[in-house]
Chains A and B, each alone.
Chain A
Amino acid sequence: MSLLNPLIQGVLLGGLYALYAAGLSLIFGVMRLVNLAHGDFIVLAAYLMLACVTALALPAWVALLIAMPFMFALGWALQRLILNRTLKNDLLVPLLVTFGLSIIIQNGLLLAFSADSRRLTVGELEIASWTFGDISIGVVPLITFIVAVLVILGLTFLFYRTRLGRILRATADSTEIVQIMGIDPRHVFAIAMGLSFVVIAVAAFFMGVRANFDPAAGPSRLLYAFEAVVIGGLGSFWGTLIGGTILGVAQTVGAAINPEWQQLAGHVVFLAVILARPRGLLARA
């Protein structure tokens, strides 16, 4: 059996992981916060779209368009109402508060939607694929990858070419000095969290279209996102794509060898990277 197919599938899967990771990387970059509920918010967003699809009979992509501003508002409010209160402390409080949120979201979803696994449907596109010899490229995985590249291009543009991006980077440098420039860092943080949640909505859409999800699916999404961020190197959006791709390839190659090794192979590659280059593959010195 050739390794080419798992390799290609892995790269495409990496696009999804990069989408998981981009939002996590964004807020870590701006406010040094690791949101332990990141994965659970992805799952929450997927259920939100599912609810739109089932209750309002909308196509899934319309549900995504609705979910994006909604998730922005949710992230913004979360930051303003809860997380901004935690940031003056060391890392304990923000970590534990987001960990508590993770438990609340999982169980809230369980109450609202039961433990059954669900899926977002986009009609025939789901099964469409192009076949070249013994390699078949699914349309949805390909679109996911392209969207991941576009999201990362967009974030890079936003961060390095716009006024908002300048303010985000300056706030990451010093929350004190931006204040004497007329900027309230709490507001900047809220916008950053809102942006992260928009990326979460996009990630959730492709997660839900590509595979089943259930209320307990969040923590493993967090771990994939985190691994992609660390493998790629902190503070770099392109790093999340590289990290995501490496993670995806590790998983599909592992699964090709033994189906039970999929997750294990990803984790092992992650541990190998921290052993060899704890600051990630792309880290600036």
Chain B
Amino acid sequence: MSLLTTHGLEVFYGDFQALFGVDVAVEEGETVAIIGANGAGKSSFMNALSGLAPTRRDAILLAGEAVGGTPAYDMVKLGIALVPEGRRLFPSLTVEENLLMGSSGRTVERGWTLPVVYDFFPVLRERRRQLAPTLSGGQQQLVAIGRALMANPRILLCDEISLGLSPAMVQTVYQALAAIKARGTTILIVEQDLRAALAAADRIYCFMEGRVSLAGRPAELSRDAIQAAYFGTAR
């Protein structure tokens, strides 16, 4: 049984429909990447999984259990943590306070704790007393990832974590993801950088206009097929 599956997932913003019946399956321990053009509905998908966007109950199954529409503050307790698009750190909190916020919902101290995150991203230990907005964009992204890890998720959702980062920082971030995966965490990323996505992911899904336009293993997908699924050009 897959760890996480969606069945006919739909997301509405008022009258506007952003997703039209999306089916995705993620196995335990996998890294899955979602690609797609701007406005394809990738963030809407992540928001539905994290509980920020409402959905039908049976549209999302976590280890076989229907959890769609669970409020975000309970979804994280079920083991789904989100690194939101644009980082969204708490600007009036310090780095350390931001990280601690990530553990607000959990009750046991195990797995990812403050010292573990600091060992993982040593630069954050030096900056722990600084207010979050005073960090560089790349450092802020590390805080956002660390904050999500502090929830000890079974599934880590990362929405465009390489956006606006230097190539060196992108590498740092993806090395971190690999290390997180090595600890057994399942990872779902949204990535605009096609090369990074293909390199990091075991499988990819391509979204177009609210639907899955392509799915498969990177090695099995031809460049043309991806291009067609991404831009909607003739197949």
Query: Which residues of A does B touch, CB under 8 Å?
Result: 163, 166-167, 169-170, 172-174, 176-184
Q: Give which listed residue, B52, B72, B82, B93, contacts A173 with CB less than 8 A.
A: B93
Q: Give which listed residue, A166, A173, A176, A181, contacts B105 with CB less than 8 A.
A: A181
Query: Which residues of B does A touch, CB under 8 Å?
Result: 50-52, 71-77, 81-82, 84, 88, 90-93, 97, 100-102, 104-106, 147, 151
Smallest CB gap from A187: residue in B: B73
| Cα-based distance from A177 to B104 in the complex (angstroms) | 12
Q: Using Cβ atoms and an 8 Å threshold, which residues of chain A touch B75? A: 180
> Taking A180-B82, A183-B73 as contacts, is the C-beta distance between A173 and B102 under 8 angstroms?
no
CB <8 Å contact, B92 and A167: no
| Cα-based distance from A256 to B127 in the complex (angstroms) | 53
CB <8 Å contact, A167 and B90: no
Distance of A165 from chain B, by nearest CB (Å): 9
CB <8 Å contact, A182 and B90: no
CB <8 Å contact, B72 and A179: yes
Smallest CB gap from A185: residue in B: B73
Distance of B135 from chain A, by nearest CB (Å): 15
Smallest CB gap from B100: residue in A: A166
CB <8 Å contact, B104 and A181: yes
The residue among B72, B76, B77, B147 with the most chain A CB atoms within 10 A of its own CB is B72
CB <8 Å contact, B50 and A184: no
CB <8 Å contact, B88 and A170: no
Distance of B79 from chain A, by nearest CB (Å): 11
CB <8 Å contact, A170 and B72: no
The residue among A163, A172, A180, A181 with the most chain B CB atoms within 10 A of its own CB is A180
Smallest CB gap from B102: residue in A: A181
Q: Using Cβ atoms and an 8 Å threshold, which residues of chain B touch A179? A: 51-52, 71-73
| 5 cross-chain CB contacts under 8 A | A177-B88, A178-B104, A181-B104, A182-B106, A184-B73
| Cα-based distance from A182 to B105 in the complex (angstroms) | 4
Q: Give which listed residue, B71, B77, B97, contacts A166 with CB less than 8 A.
A: B97
Q: Give which listed residue, A173, A176, A178, contacts B92 with CB less than 8 A.
A: A173
Distance of A185 from chain B, by nearest CB (Å): 8
Q: Using Cβ atoms and an 8 Å threshold, which residues of chain A touch B72? A: 179-180
Q: Using Cβ atoms and an 8 Å threshold, which residues of chain A touch B97? A: 166, 169-170
Distance of A155 from chain B, by nearest CB (Å): 16
CB <8 Å contact, B104 and A167: yes
CB <8 Å contact, B76 and A184: no
CB <8 Å contact, A170 and B93: yes
The 6 closest A-B pairs by CB, nearest first: A182-B105, A179-B72, A173-B90, A182-B76, A170-B90, A184-B73
CB <8 Å contact, A178 and B101: yes
| Cα-based distance from A172 to B92 in the complex (angstroms) | 9
Distance of A235 from chain B, by nearest CB (Å): 9
CB <8 Å contact, A182 and B77: yes
> Taking A167-B101, A170-B90, A173-B92 as contacts, is the C-beta distance between A181 and B151 under 8 angstroms?
yes
CB <8 Å contact, A183 and B82: no
CB <8 Å contact, A169 and B93: yes
CB <8 Å contact, A177 and B71: no
Distance of B133 from chain A, by nearest CB (Å): 11
CB <8 Å contact, B88 and A182: no
Q: Using Cβ atoms and an 8 Å threshold, which residues of chain A touch B82? A: 180
Q: Give which listed residue, B74, B92, B102, contacts A169 with CB less than 8 A.
A: B92
| Cα-based distance from A182 to B70 in the complex (angstroms) | 12
Distance of A234 from chain B, by nearest CB (Å): 13
Smallest CB gap from A167: residue in B: B104
| Cα-based distance from A170 to B97 in the complex (angstroms) | 9
| Cα-based distance from A181 to B81 in the complex (angstroms) | 8
